[in-house]
Amino acid sequence: MTKTFVFTAALFASASLGHAIIIQPDAVTASSQHSANYAPIHTIDGSGLLGPVASLPDHDAYTSTSNHWTAQSGELLNAWIKWSFNTAQTLDTIYVWNHQSNGPAGNDGYDVGAFTLTFFDALDSEIGTFSGTLAYDSPSAQAFDFGELSGISSVRFDINSVQSSTTWTGLAEVAFGLNESVSVPDSSTTASLLVLALAGLGLVARRRQLG
């Protein structure tokens, strides 16, 4: 069952309240894996995250071999990973925690650079694409807004470049999201409503005195 979380942030500079619905896929496959310890499932199970996925926390260093996905040695620019949802989703954002070059990944340069997303519907027909580039050596989630797209049943992530490695690459974690906003009264409207409310209370008090 698709895991859905809601992250709320007040936007004080504007009259709106932002709701980021964070969604984790239900299943995952990949072109390969270095070994069972580096399985693609680790990109959607929250392993290594320093908090709940909905808070988009940093990813821990690779102190464990079982908190990230690494493709087979030598598979770099033809490596891919594909996430799927049991129920078709409407999404607009992908959050990616890049591969790291520490711990079990002791050699520098494993990080993914350029990538391409391909979106598929329930019939596995392509319904959209998006290209982006990840920053290197970052433990933080990197957000990419690909525009609201409905009917997404799976998303394939193709690796187009890597930092400098000639052996391994992969990803730490991934999540998807849909950003929504709810309008709230601006400061002038709020002030007017407060004045009216106070006036109403004064009128009630006066009537009680007259009565």
- In CATH, what number is assigned to the domain containing residue 171? 2.60.120.260
Number of domains forming the structure of the chain: 1
| Separation of alpha carbons 110 and 102, rounded Å | 9
Residue 195 lies in a domain: no
Give domain status of residue 211, yes or no.
Answer: no
**Quick one: pLDDT at residue 134?**
98
Taking residues 55-64, report their average pLDDT.
87
Q: For residues 65 and 39, what is the distance between their CA atoms, to the nearest angstrom?
A: 10
Q: What is the pLDDT of residue 123?
A: 98
Q: Which of 52-66, 116-130, 137-151, 191-205 has the lowest mean pLDDT?
A: 191-205
Range of the domain at 170: 3-186
8 Å CB contact between 18 and 180: yes
Residue 154: what pLDDT?
98
pTM of the model: 0.79
- Reported as a single tens digit per residue, the pLDDT across 65-95 is 788 999 999 999 999 999 999 999 999 999 9
Contact 104, 62 (CB under 8 A): yes
Short-list 8, 2, 14, 64, CA closest to 39: 64
CA distance linking residue 202 with residue 152, whole number of Å: 55
**Residue 196 domain-assigned (yes or no):** no
Does residue 210 lie within any of the structural domains?
Answer: no
Residue 174: its pLDDT value, please? 98
User: Per the domain annotation, does 179 fall within a domain?
Assistant: yes
Handedness of CA 194, 198, 203, 204 (dihedral sign): positive
